[in-house]
Amino acid sequence: MQLKRDTSDQLFEEAKKYFPGGVNSPVRAFKSVHGSPLFIHKGDKDRIYDEDGNEFIDFCCSWGPLIHGHNHPAIREAVAETIQHGLSFGTPTRSGVKIGQLITENHSYLDKVRFVCSGTEAVMSAIRLARGYTGKTKILKFEGCYHGHVDSLMVKAGSGLATFGISTSAGIPEALAQETLVLPLNDLAGVETLLAEHHEDLACIIIEPIPANNGLLIQDTSFLVWLRKLCDDYKILLIFDEVISGFRVGFEGAAGHYKVAPDLITFGKILGGGMPVGAFGGKAEIMDHVAPLGPVYQAGTLSANPVAIAAGIASLELCLQEGFYENLQLKTMDFVQRITEHTAAKGYDFSMQQIGSIFWLNFGKHRVITSDQINPEVNDLFKVLHLELLQKGIYLGPSGYEVGFISSAHTQESLDITVQAMCDSLDTLYR
Ligand SMILES: *Cc1c(COP(=O)(O)O)cnc(C)c1O
């Protein structure tokens, strides 16, 4: 079936006049898959609808925030109610207190938080805090972990970069890049050697505890436990970047999943229920170094604005309902299992990696935990699959390095349709 894309194509041509590459975020540009991007005008539950009248079952879910699917009535109504009274005051609000209480009381690893407007801003601020608190400058990150487009972290980062083959962005002073040390994930010997040499300069180690921006590189618990211990020994802060995993693999995210206590955690995506919200938080003793209590400056005109916070509260309250995460996880495991049973029976060089309600198509049979283990042909293979699936009414993020998400709005019927479509598309790909 040929997908109708005329209107999206036209809009994209128009968009290119106004925005670099026609988009406001690079992965949206469909550069690594066939065709131009689809212009979406409506989402409802597990479906999105484009300008040409096509309907898709959506597994991109706005890149992660929509754990309750599109247009959830509780979130929509909370926002609609709030906007009756104005959009922003630049003052503290009652709802701000409520969300602060909601996340710290239900999260064992958060004493205090500061709200910002994006994941990038959260990470940028957490890094500044780590430096301000420790009085040290260097940071250590891992290859394949994406931490937003923060200057000092644009070194060997996530999918957009892997996809476009840029190892680092232009416009970042070398002096700054030199403050960032990078090692492969799970490289215990490398971390040990590096700390022996640099621990006196190292402010923090930052990691996506569930790396999900460059494939889904699920780490061994022991690696994270070991990092925690090492950071304690050397008095280095451990930052978990949970912008994607926070409130996704459980209310306490990866920290709760692995039972490893980071010093600071960064959030975004799900926290805003689809609105632009981020936060960083952690131990009170460290957070109290943030202005106005402490010397680490951080501020935001629209931080914790009441509309975004209303969406966040409604979204988090749904997450806290009994059995919410268990159901999502079971649904996702079943989905993955049915596809991989088919591909294993056929002997395809394919598997899926999954944790909670996150999944990734691994074009290889073996578990992958570092970015260099990813099949270098992933995008060539994914490109074929992506188009096949679009034509069957299934929408995945437009890169083979991106993960997919299952939301509470995905129905059994939609998942059945998708399993069938995936199996058929994989048959076409490997035929
Ligand atoms: C998405 C993401 C970010 C960046 O968040 P933005 O809201 O896009 O700025 C940072 N870290 C991780 C782990 C992410 O997944």
Look up residue 261 and give its two tokens.
């206590």
* pLDDT at residue 214 in the model: 95
Compute, in angstroms, the gap from residue 182 CA to the centroid of ligand 1: 18
Residue 116 three-state SS: strand
Cα of 148 from ligand 1 centre, angstroms: 5
> Which residue has the CA at smallest separation from atom 13 of ligand 1?
243
Kindly state if the Cβ of 146 falls inside 6 Å of ligand 1.
yes
CA distance 9 to 13: 6
Q: Which of 45, 61, 72, 59 is nearest to 319 (CA)?
A: 72
Residue nearest to atom 6 of ligand 1 (CA): 119
Q: Does the annotation count 233 as an active-site position?
A: no
| Global model pTM greater than 0.85 | yes
Q: State the closest ligand 1 atom to the C-alpha of 145, by its place in the atom list counted from 1.
A: 13
Ligand 1 pocket, mutate which of 147, 217, 240, 402 (most atoms under 8 A from CB):
147
- 8 Å CB contact between 8 and 30: no
Distances (CA, A) of 28 to 159, 212, 278, 343, 399: 12, 17, 21, 29, 9
**CA-closest candidate to residue 6, choices 55, 49, 39:** 39
Rounded average pLDDT per 10-residue block, the chain, 431 residues: 92 98 95 96 98 98 98 98 97 98 98 98 98 96 93 70 55 85 93 92 98 97 98 97 98 98 98 98 98 98 97 98 98 98 97 98 97 95 97 97 98 98 97 87
Q: Which two tokens stand for residue 134?
A: 């420790």
Q: Is 146 a catalytic residue?
A: yes
Placement of tokens 């293979």 in the chain: 381
Residue by residue, DSSP assigns 125-140 as HHHHHHHHHH---EEE
Question: What DSSP string describes 273-334?
Answer: BTBS-EEEEE-HHHHTTBTTTSSB----TTTT-HHHHHHHHHHHHHHTSTTHHHHHHHHHHH
Closest C-alpha to ligand 1, atom 8: 119
Catalytic annotation present for 365: no
Q: Helices H, strands E: what count in the chain? A: 14, 14
pLDDT for 164 equals 43
pLDDT of res. 156? 66
Set 269, 331, 383, 392: catalytic member: 269
Ligand 1 lined by 208 (C-beta under 6 Å): yes
Q: 343 CB under 6 A from ligand 1?
A: no
**What's the pLDDT at 170?**
87
Q: Which CATH number fits domain 73-319: 3.40.50.1100, 3.40.640.10, 1.10.645.10, 3.30.43.10?
A: 3.40.640.10
β partners of residue 278: 116
Q: Under CATH, domain 6-71+322-430 is a member of which superfamily? A: Aspartate Aminotransferase, domain 1 (3.90.1150.10)
What letter does residue 399 receive in the DSSP assignment?
A: S
126 C-alpha to center of ligand 1: Å? 13
Domain boundaries, the chain: 6-71+322-430, 73-319
CA-only gyration radius of the chain, Å = 21
Helix (H, G, I), strand (E, B) or coil at 364: coil
